[in-house]
């Protein structure tokens, strides 16, 4: 699975942009218009954007892509190989593999996006607070973060999910999705906390912050008006890549039987259900696995394109 | 250096305490009956539950339980599982296999990852560079279990080159493909990290000086460039040794390897928490110690880094 602790090295393991630095033009230019200028010349950005739109459409309106019902099962067709009638064949229960792969996009993307959002809020907030107020608050937040980082990702998720929602139990659809999202965020926030913390520490001593403080701005105003917008770039890059790795992580947990479970339709569950039929019906497993990998690839590519454009070191 | 090592060790103490406490708390205290389903189809009689709670000390206050756990851990008493098999002997059987698997994975990461990274970094924008960039992008997007099942199906079921599952002995040749799978993600990271590091150092003054002195290309790359570029890569590989052990849970599951990951996995499925807690604790300890070791090695590898 994609290990988010390793993804932080992705940010460091930067690729140089293929395009040369943007020519200086007259007029005011901000970080974001510069970024856009670089982004729109990059092929990888457009490819990942198109893929992203396809996946988002699939998540929002699955019926655009298939007219078949993902729940409709014909046991007689169990594990039938791909044919003109069903391009991806039928799964163990005789359901259309393609339809289930299409409908699976929604769960995976919701979990990936919401878990990332929760991570950003939790990690960003604690990071900004730790950096801004420093002293004991910084020490406490940093130590607690280290404790959670001390739990290797898969292990931590297994321990929490294995006790909250053991493999044999059958929690409701919304409950289990919420639990998985919380677990992913709980184990992922320290990395984002560190990113936000170091960004804010760097920005804290800049003149514009000093000026704002001299003008009498309170901590809230300084944090939200000045520090946060200027720390946004590294957070944005990390979270784009994180969406991808969380989608992979969700599938991994579902595969282990402690993440999402039927009747939720998800790529991870489809892969888990057919892992033991790999000899007789590989298609029932590899098509959802392909969708999953493409979706992760989309977010990883997008994150890399954005990082290349945002990283001032590479300009 | 000595003082720094001691300070780092002291800093580790609250982290170890906190992490082990989280594990203990999560496993034993969260809602859900740890003894549910231990008596077959029918609910457990109260007498059994009371006896079990007493045997595993669950009737005591939380902090006392945690204190006992720490005492047992320090004295090396890992207890018995629900079937009264000693956890230490379970670990003794599984440990060597996982260590073998993780070591092989690290070797693959180092050899293939660094090799690919150096080749692509030296000829930036060349054919090899493009191949490495694209293939690492794909490796990064393939969750480990997808790579695992794919190779198992392709090499094991379709082509018959390997046996799809590993036997109890888990010999080195059998573990080659599982180790490759386990290494796949980090291999991509290693390659990218090496490439960036090489590209950065190629522009540095000392490399320019070495070239200007008239040293041969081979000497510049091998003695000057590589040594300096590999420092961050070695750090990365070191920290990953610890997480590979727990990352092995999935790989060991796919290839049916009877290592630590498999042990932990079966314990979780059976809800045998008496195994989960010590195994998870040991994995966390290995992970934290590996990180500490790498931190200390950093100063040895790179004399420019001084610990105050």
Domain boundaries, chain B: 2-75, 89-301
Q: Is residue A42 part of a domain?
A: no
Secondary structure, 3-state, A192-226: HHHHHHHHHHHHHCCHHHHHHHHCCCCHHHHHHHH
How high is the pLDDT of residue A7? 42
- What is the Cα–Cα distance from B284 to B20, expressed in whole angstroms? 8
CA atoms within 13 A on the CB side of B92: 7
**Contact assignment for A144 to B271 by CB distance below 8 Å:** no
* Beta pairing partners, B86: B80
> B interface mutation test: which of A1, A253, A281 has the most B CBs within 10 A?
A1
- B189 contacts in chain A (CB < 8 Å): 6, 9-10, 13
Q: Is the pLDDT of residue A49 over 70?
A: yes
Helices B127-141 and B115-122 cross at an angle (nearest 10°) of 140
**Contact assignment for B247 to A146 by CB distance below 8 Å:** no
Helices H, strands E: what count in chain B?
A: 13, 0
**Contact assignment for B157 to A278 by CB distance below 8 Å:** yes
- Percent of residues, chain A, with pLDDT higher than 70: 87
Q: What is the distance between the terminal CA atoms of chain A, rounded to a whole angstrom? A: 32
| C-alpha distance from B153 to closest chain A C-alpha (Å) | 7
What digits encode the pLDDT tens for the residues A267-278?
888 888 887 787
CB under 8 A, 24+ apart: contacts of A141-148: A141/A193, A142/A197, A143/B14, A143/B15, A143/B18, A144/B18, A145/A189, A145/A190, A145/A193, A145/A194, A146/A190, A146/B15, A146/B18, A147/B14, A147/B15, A147/B18, A147/B19, A147/B22, A148/A186, A148/A187, A148/A189, A148/A190, A148/B22
- The reply to whether A47 touches chain B by the CB within 8 Å rule is no
| C-alpha distance from A77 to closest chain B C-alpha (Å) | 23
Using pLDDT thresholds of 50, 70 and 90, give the confidence band for residue A254.
Answer: confident
| C-alpha distance from A275 to closest chain B C-alpha (Å) | 8
**Contact assignment for A150 to B287 by CB distance below 8 Å:** yes
Q: Is the pLDDT of residue A30 over 80?
A: no
Cα–Cα nearest to A234, from A102, A131, A83, A106: A131
Q: Is the pLDDT of residue A315 over 50?
A: no
Q: Are A5 and A272 in contact (CB under 8 A)?
A: no
- A163 contacts in chain B (CB < 8 Å): 26-27, 30, 32, 273
Which residue in A has a C-alpha nearest to residue B132's C-alpha? A15
Q: Is A315 exposed, middle or buried (0-12, 13-18, 19+ CB in 10 A)?
A: exposed
Give the burial string for B30-63 (b: 16+ CB within 10 Å, else e): eeeebbeebeeeeebeeeebeeeeeebebeeeee
Q: Is the pLDDT of residue B24 over 50?
A: yes
Q: At A241, which CATH number?
A: 1.10.3720.10
- B195 contacts in chain A (CB < 8 Å): 13
**Contact assignment for A252 to B141 by CB distance below 8 Å:** no
Cα–Cα nearest to A275, from A256, A291, A297: A256
Handedness of CA B127, B130, B134, B140 (dihedral sign): positive
Using pLDDT thresholds of 50, 70 and 90, give the confidence band for residue A313.
Answer: low
Q: Is residue A22 part of a domain?
A: no
How high is the pLDDT of residue B241? 77
User: Best-predicted range by mean pLDDT among A96-105, B106-115, B144-153?
Assistant: B106-115
* Beta pairing partners, A90: A96
How high is the pLDDT of residue A181? 92
Q: Which of B27, B37, B264 sits opposite A163 (nearest CB)?
A: B27
Reading phi first (left if > 0) and then psi (alpha if -120 to 50, else beta), residue A89 is in left
CA atoms within 13 A on the CB side of A242: 27
- What is the Cα–Cα distance from A88 to A172, expressed in whole angstroms? 29
Number of A–B residue contacts, CB under 8 Å: 164
What digits encode the pLDDT tens for the residues B54-77?
777 777 777 787 888 888 888 777
What are A182's two structure tokens? 């919380």
* Beta pairing partners, A96: A90
| C-alpha distance from B273 to closest chain A C-alpha (Å) | 9
Average pLDDT of the residues in A29-52? 83
Using pLDDT thresholds of 50, 70 and 90, give the confidence band for residue B35.
Answer: low
What digits encode the pLDDT tens for the residues A173-219?
788 888 889 999 988 898 889 888 888 888 877 888 888 888 888 88
What digits encode the pLDDT tens for the residues B39-52?
666 777 777 777 77
Q: Which of residues 249-308 of A touch B (CB under 8 A)?
A: 251-252, 255-258, 271, 275, 278-279, 282, 285-286, 289, 292-294, 296-297, 300-301, 304
Main-chain phi, psi angles of A96, to 5 degrees: -70, 120
- What is the Cα–Cα distance from A44 to B129, expressed in whole angstroms? 16
**Contact assignment for A255 to B146 by CB distance below 8 Å:** no
* Beta pairing partners, B80: B86
**Contact assignment for B138 to A282 by CB distance below 8 Å:** no
Q: Which of A147, A279, A296 sits opposite B22 (nearest CB)?
A: A147
Q: Is residue A104 part of a domain?
A: yes
Q: Is the pLDDT of residue A78 over 90?
A: no
- What is the Cα–Cα distance from B308 to B293, expressed in whole angstroms? 18
Q: Which of B27, B232, B253 sits opposite A159 (nearest CB)?
A: B27
Handedness of CA A52, A54, A57, A58 (dihedral sign): negative
What digits encode the pLDDT tens for the residues A85-142?
767 777 777 788 888 888 888 888 999 999 999 999 999 889 888 888 878 888 888 8
Range of the domain at A72: 53-314
| C-alpha distance from B180 to closest chain A C-alpha (Å) | 14
Q: Is the pLDDT of residue B170 over 90?
A: no
| C-alpha distance from B29 to closest chain A C-alpha (Å) | 9
- B149 contacts in chain A (CB < 8 Å): 271, 275, 278, 285-286, 289
How high is the pLDDT of residue B41? 67
**Contact assignment for A147 to B37 by CB distance below 8 Å:** no
Secondary structure, 3-state, chain A: CCCHHHHHHHHHCCCCCCCCCCCCCCCCCCHHHHHHHHHCCCHHHHHHHHHHHHHHHHHHCHHHCCCCCCCCCCHHHCCCCCCCCCCCCECCCCCEHHHHHHHHHHHHHHHHHHHHHHHHHHHHHHHHHHHHHCHHHHHHHHHHHHHHHCCCHHHHHHHHHHHHCCCCCCCCHHHHHHHHHHHHHHHHHHHHHHHHHHHHHHHHCCHHHHHHHHCCCCHHHHHHHHHHHHHHHHHHHHHHHHHHHHHHHHHHHHHCCCCCCCCCCCHHHHHHHHHHHCCCCHHHHHHHHHHHHHHHHHHHHHHHHHHHHHCHHHC
Using pLDDT thresholds of 50, 70 and 90, give the confidence band for residue B168.
Answer: confident
| C-alpha distance from A158 to closest chain B C-alpha (Å) | 8
- The reply to whether A146 touches chain B by the CB within 8 Å rule is yes
Average pLDDT of the residues in A17-46? 68
Helices A97-133 and A228-255 cross at an angle (nearest 10°) of 140
Instruction: Please state the ipTM of this predicted complex.
Output: 0.77
Q: How many domains does chain A have?
A: 1
What are A31's two structure tokens? 């970080």
Q: Which of A146, A251, A275 sits opposite B15 (nearest CB)?
A: A146
How high is the pLDDT of residue B31? 53
Give the residue ranges of DSSP H helices in B26-86.
46-55, 62-74
What digits encode the pLDDT tens for the residues A80-91?
777 777 677 777
- B284 contacts in chain A (CB < 8 Å): 150-152, 155
**3-state SS, residue B219:** helix
**Contact assignment for B18 to A144 by CB distance below 8 Å:** yes
Q: Which CATH class is domain B89-301?
A: mainly alpha
How high is the pLDDT of residue A312? 55
**Contact assignment for B196 to A304 by CB distance below 8 Å:** no
Q: Is residue A302 part of a domain?
A: yes
Q: Is the pLDDT of residue A22 over 60?
A: no
**Contact assignment for B145 to A3 by CB distance below 8 Å:** no
Q: Is residue A169 part of a domain?
A: yes
What are B190's two structure tokens? 């290693």
Q: Is the pLDDT of residue A12 over 50?
A: no
Which residue in B has a C-alpha nearest to residue A288's C-alpha? B146
Using pLDDT thresholds of 50, 70 and 90, give the confidence band for residue B1.
Answer: low
DSSP B24: H
**Contact assignment for B250 to A255 by CB distance below 8 Å:** yes
Q: Is the pLDDT of residue B239 over 70?
A: yes
**Contact assignment for A282 to B153 by CB distance below 8 Å:** yes
């Amino acid at each position: 699975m994609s290990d988010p602790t390793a993804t932080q090295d992705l940010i460091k393991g930067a690729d140089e942009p293929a395009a040369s630095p943007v020519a200086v033009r007259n007029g005011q230019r901000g970080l974001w218009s510069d970024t856009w200028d670089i982004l729109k010349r990059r092929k990888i950005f457009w490819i990942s954007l198109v893929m992203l739109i396809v996946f988002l459409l699939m998540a929002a309106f699955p019926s655009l892509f298939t007219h078949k019902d993902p729940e409709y099962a014909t046991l007689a067709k169990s594990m039938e190989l791909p044919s003109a009638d069903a391009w991806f064949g039928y799964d163990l229960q005789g359901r259309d593999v393609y339809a289930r792969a299409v409908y699976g996009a929604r769960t995976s993307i919701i979990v990936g996006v919401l878990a990332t959002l929760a991570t950003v809020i939790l990690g960003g907030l604690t990071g900004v607070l730790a950096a801004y107020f420093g002293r004991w608050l910084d020490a406490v937040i940093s130590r607690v973060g280290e404790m959670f980082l001390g739990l290797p990702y898969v292990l931590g998720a297994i321990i929490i999910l294995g006790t909250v929602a053991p493999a044999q139990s059958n929690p409701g659809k919304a409950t289990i999705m919420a639990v998985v999202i919380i677990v992913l965020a709980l184990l992922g926030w320290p990395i984002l906390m560190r990113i936000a913390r170091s960004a804010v520490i760097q920005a804290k001593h800049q003149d514009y912050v000093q000026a704002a403080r001299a003008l009498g701005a309170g901590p809230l105003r300084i944090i939200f008006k000045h520090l946060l917008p200027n720390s946004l770039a590294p957070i944005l890059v990390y979270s784009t890549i994180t969406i991808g790795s969380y989608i992979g992580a969700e599938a991994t947990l579902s595969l282990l039987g402690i993440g999402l479970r039927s009747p939720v339709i998800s790529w991870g569950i489809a892969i888990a259900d057919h892992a033991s039929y790999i000899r007789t019906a590989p298609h029932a497993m590899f098509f959802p696995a392909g969708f999953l990998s493409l979706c992760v690839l989309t977010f990883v590519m997008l994150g890399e394109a954005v990082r290349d454009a945002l990283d001032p070191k590479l300009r | 250096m000595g003082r720094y090592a001691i300070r780092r060790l002291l800093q580790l103490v609250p982290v170890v305490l906190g992490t082990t406490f989280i594990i203990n708390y999560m496993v034993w205290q969260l809602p859900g009956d740890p003894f549910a389903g231990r008596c077959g189809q029918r609910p457990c009689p109260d007498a059994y539950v009371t006896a079990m709670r007493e045997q595993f000390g669950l009737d005591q206050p939380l902090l006392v339980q945690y204190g006992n756990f720490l005492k047992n851990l320090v004295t090396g008493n890992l207890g018995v599982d629900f079937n009264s098999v000693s956890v230490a002997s379970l670990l003794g059987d599984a440990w060597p296999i996982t260590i073998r698997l993780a070591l092989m994975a690290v070797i693959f990461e180092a050899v293939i990852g660094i090799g690919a990274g150096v080749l692509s970094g030296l000829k930036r924008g060349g054919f090899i560079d493009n191949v490495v960039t694209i293939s690492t992008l794909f490796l990064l997007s393939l969750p480990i279990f997808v790579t695992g099942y794919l190779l198992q199906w392709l090499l094991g079921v379709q082509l018959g080159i390997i046996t799809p599952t590993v036997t109890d002995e888990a010999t080195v040749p059998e573990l080659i493909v599982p180790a490759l799978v386990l290494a796949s993600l980090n291999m991509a990271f290693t390659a990218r990290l090496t490439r960036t590091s090489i590209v950065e150092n190629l522009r540095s003054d000392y490399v320019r000086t070495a070239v200007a002195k008239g040293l041969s290309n081979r000497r510049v790359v091998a003695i000057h460039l590589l040594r300096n570029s590999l420092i961050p890569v070695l750090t990365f590989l070191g920290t990953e040794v610890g997480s590979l052990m727990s990352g092995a849970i999935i790989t060991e599951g796919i290839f049916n390897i009877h290592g630590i990951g498999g042990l932990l996995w079966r314990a979780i499925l059976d809800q045998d928490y008496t195994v989960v807690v010590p195994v998870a604790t040991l994995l966390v300890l290995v992970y934290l110690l590996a990180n500490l070791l790498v931190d200390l090695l950093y100063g040895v590898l790179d004399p420019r880094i001084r610990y105050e």
